[in-house]
């Protein structure tokens, strides 16, 4: 099981729904390398207890990420980060999707008073932290 501070994954005071916070945290951990393909996640019940959220919230996120191919559940064993798959999308479509993601991140950062340079520094710090 991955040694990760799950208790800091969700913030009940954040207006973002808890399931969205949890999904985002798992996706960021995978993208930054803190969670790697093959890493085992806590059980639904254990993570719900650790986060002090309803088990249905955790289950909903796990099921959604499994449907997206991000996680895989092995019956009787647990939930794991799925191996990276080559999605059958062409490079132009992937680049367009990435530009849309970056656009949303820039818009949200700007709405909170941050510049593109601030966002870039935070992204670099996040990815450097995962490499160590």
Domain spans, the chain: 6-81, 91-131
The pLDDT, as a whole number, for residue 57 is 96
Say yes or no to pLDDT of 53 above 50. yes
Reported as a single tens digit per residue, the pLDDT across 61-101 is: 999 999 888 899 999 999 999 987 654 445 666 777 788 88
Place of tokens 């995978």: 30
Which residues, including other chains, have CB under 8 Å from residue 14's CB and lie 6 or more apart? Answer: 21
CA distance 41 to 66: 12
At the second CATH level, the architecture of 6-81 is Orthogonal Bundle (1.10)
Q: pTM (2 decimals)?
A: 0.66
Do residues 39 and 79 make contact, with C-beta atoms less than 8 angstroms apart?
Answer: no
Say yes or no to pLDDT of 14 above 90. no
Say yes or no to pLDDT of 2 above 80. no
Q: Which residue has the higher pLDDT, 3 or 12?
A: 12
Do residues 21 and 14 make contact, with C-beta atoms less than 8 angstroms apart?
Answer: yes
């Amino acid at each position: 099981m991955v040694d990760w501070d799950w208790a800091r994954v969700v913030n009940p005071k954040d207006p973002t729904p808890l399931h969205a916070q949890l999904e985002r945290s798992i996706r960021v951990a995978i993208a930054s390398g803190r969670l790697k393909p093959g890493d085992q996640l806590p059980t639904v019940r254990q993570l719900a207890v650790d986060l002090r959220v309803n088990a249905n919230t955790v289950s909903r996120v796990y099921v959604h990420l499994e449907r997206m191919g991000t996680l895989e559940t092995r019956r009787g064993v647990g939930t794991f980060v799925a191996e990276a798959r080559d999605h059958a999308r062409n490079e132009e479509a992937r680049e367009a999707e990435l530009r849309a993601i970056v656009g949303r991140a820039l818009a949200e950062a700007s709405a909170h008073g941050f510049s593109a340079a601030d966002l870039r520094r935070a992204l670099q710090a996040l990815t450097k932290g995962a490499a160590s």
